[in-house]
Amino acid sequence: MFTEYIQIRESKGNLAYIVSIGLDAKPVAFNLIKLSDSEAVFGNPGHDFPQRIIYRKESPDAMFARIEGREKGINKAIEFRYKRSRCD
């Protein structure tokens, strides 16, 4: 079973994206490094992978997310596209 718990909260005077992947996983914090009306970028250069998490609003009904960084010396990125849907 896969679980992922995410929250955005204030940590040490800065906004942080905090994620735990797995039931017994230790939370990992990514500090806010860029914020605009359409984009939020969080980073943790000391994390194994990813080191950056990006969320970008593409339209009122669409969002783009990307995780990126180096893994085993190789640049890597995984992209996700989300579209609003009805919950009937």
pLDDT-based confidence at 36, cuts 50/70/90?
very high
Amino acid at 51: Q
Q: Does 1 score more than 80 pLDDT?
A: no
- Mean pLDDT over 57-80 rounds to 96
Q: Does 22 score more than 90 pLDDT?
A: no
- Mean pLDDT over 37-61 rounds to 97
Is cis: bond before 60, omega within 30 of 0?
no
Q: Of how many residues is the chain composed?
A: 88
pTM for this structure? Answer: 0.89
Q: Does 11 score more than 80 pLDDT?
A: no
- Mean pLDDT over 27-43 rounds to 97
Tell the residue number behind the tokens 């085993």, with chain if given. 72
* Mean pLDDT score of the chain: 94
- Mean pLDDT over 58-65 rounds to 96
